[in-house]
Amino acid sequence: MTFLPVVERELRVAARRRNVFWARQAAASAAVLCGAGGLWFSQNLIGLGVPGPGPIGLGMPGPGPILLGVLRQVAFAFCLLAGPIFTADVLSEERREGTLGLLFLTNLHGHDVVLGKLAAASVTAVFSLLAVLPVLAIPILLGGVPLGEFVRTVLVLGNTLFLSLAIGICMSACCVQARSALTATGFVLFLLAGVAPWIAEEWRMTQAPGWLNLALIAISPTSVLSLTPAVNYASKGLDFWLALTLMHGLAWLLLGAASWLTARVWREPAGWLAQPVWRRRWSDWNYGMSSERRRSRARLLEGNPVAWLGRRHLLKRRLLWVAVGVALVAWILFWMRRPQSAANGSTVFLFGLLLLAPLKWLAASEASQRWVADQQSGALELLLTTPLTVGELLGGQLQSLRYLFGWPVAAILVVQAAMLALLPDESRGDRILGAMALVGVVTCLWDFHTLGWVAMWLGLTVRRANRALLGTVVRVLVAPWLVFGALVLATVGVKWYAIPLFWLVVCVASNLLFHVLARHRLMRGLRRLAVERFAAAG
């Protein structure tokens, strides 16, 4: 018998896909463009006489370290996003279609299925990373970058990619819906890459470094990446190798958990999960008590039935409020406990970004998933046969999004605006980030409104919810940052207040463009988009 037969079969199928080839070309081209921009930027900095430390990997002056730092950050971001993009729906899709149990009618085991799906889903990501590595080695030729730092960077990027893919496939084994698996994967990566380094730094500032601090560093790809530069590795080389080993072991542990779950979740629930009393309690937690549901129907059905459909899931809103409340309390306590570190524009900007970015991701996911699910179930076609107009359908969707995200986002913006108002005199860098945080407060609600329109539009034109979500995120959230970065690189040496002004112009132009485009296409062609796939099939 062939060893790991599913792996061999999936690799043969994946090797014939055209998108694997084009992904390699796109990754290499993106690395070359980022490298050219980073090299041009480093030359401008040196020409302006701005050496000195910078972000991760930019500790040494010269174009080599600066270029390596830029490429390392871009490749690291891709490795983190590989899990949500490639593996977050590979097993949950099989469960939704009812084909996962068919695999276990043979003599396959859980690890055969999981490793096979992992191999097939990771081919594109692995080849893309390999295409980036030659560009990542160019800073060695420029000088100032030792070979050991390049090797450590490659090891960390490979481990980060492996960990992200393992998290995605483990969450896919736990969830049935694509949106749930994608959200869970993104949340776990956010905890590991964003929250864990912050806790480790806070622990290091208040306590002597110990095994807990090392454990937090080990489970955080961001912390391990910060140890790759030669300056940091010289004093913490042992910590680097221990953390790298533990991170690799964590990925294998997640794959083992996914294998164990995959061999069992395809069966019908048994025990206490199958009892009607627990199903009824779960319904009450999710939709509210019967009296609460009656009041909601009486209040909303006469106004807009689509809004009622979107506002039935009360558990989502309650969990969202709990998460936002905990995050705001932690932020306020951090501000009160360490005012010298927290009372600056860069900290307010960073905390606002960490709190609002997941909510924007969830809003785009909610809006796109609903249309895709309604199309697949036929609910959208039924809604289009009712006397509801297109404006009422779209307005109901937006109203339910405002109900779910409106007040939590408003609470974050109020706290962020209050902290910006309490900031003392700042340095030039803090003024820039503080002003950018203020721009974010001003344009945030418009960002959510645009996300809703674009997600609804792509939810009708793209068959998979994850692709609609990623398309929305790229258009509304990623593209403005790319344009802003290009403007900053092209105007090195301008006055500090020009940079927040650039950010404001980019945000307004991006929201205006995508908002008008998505609204126009939905208002004019909602009915055509809803039945387009059936017309193509016929």
Confidence of residue 331 (pLDDT cuts 50, 70, 90): confident
**Eight-class DSSP state of 145:** -
String of b and e for 136-168 (b: at least 16 CB within 10 Å)? Answer: bbbbeebebbeeebbebbbbbbbbbbbbbbbbb
Tell me how far apart the alpha carbons of residues 153 and 68 are, in angstroms, rounded to a whole number.
9
pTM: 0.76
Tell me how far apart the alpha carbons of residues 331 and 416 are, in angstroms, rounded to a whole number.
10
Percent of the chain at pLDDT exceeding 90: 14
Per residue in 69-102, pLDDT tens?
Answer: 888 888 998 899 888 888 888 888 888 777 777 7
Tell me how far apart the alpha carbons of residues 164 and 81 are, in angstroms, rounded to a whole number.
7
pLDDT at residue number 387: 81
Least confident among 103-117, 134-148, 216-230: 103-117
Residue 417: pLDDT over 70: yes
Tell me how far apart the alpha carbons of residues 37 and 49 are, in angstroms, rounded to a whole number.
18
**Cβ–Cβ contacts within 10 Å for residue 273, how many?**
10
Per residue in 15-29, pLDDT tens?
Answer: 677 777 777 788 888
Per residue in 184-194, pLDDT tens?
Answer: 888 888 888 88
pLDDT at residue number 1: 46
Tell me how far apart the alpha carbons of residues 451 and 437 are, in angstroms, rounded to a whole number.
19
- For tokens 């109203």, the residue is 399
Tokens describing residue 115: 């490793």
Q: Helices (DSSP H) in 422-497: which residue ranges?
A: 428-461, 465-473, 479-490
CB 374 within 8 A of CB 507: no
Mean pLDDT of the chain: 79
pLDDT at residue number 49: 46
CB 79 within 8 A of CB 160: yes
Percent of the chain at pLDDT exceeding 70: 80
Least confident among 36-50, 168-182, 291-305, 356-370: 36-50
Torsion sign, CA atoms 11, 14, 16, 20:
negative
Least confident among 69-78, 389-398, 429-438: 429-438
Per residue in 233-288, pLDDT tens?
Answer: 888 878 888 888 988 999 999 999 998 888 887 765 554 444 566 556 666 666 66
Residue 313: pLDDT over 50: yes
Confidence of residue 211 (pLDDT cuts 50, 70, 90): low
For 415-444, what is the mean pLDDT? 80
Per residue in 441-493, pLDDT tens?
Answer: 999 999 999 999 999 888 888 777 777 888 898 899 989 988 888 887 777 66
Residue 52: pLDDT over 50: no
CB 296 within 8 A of CB 311: yes
- For tokens 């409020």, the residue is 321
| Size of the chain, expressed as the number of residues it contains | 538
For 314-325, what is the mean pLDDT? 84
pLDDT at residue number 429: 54
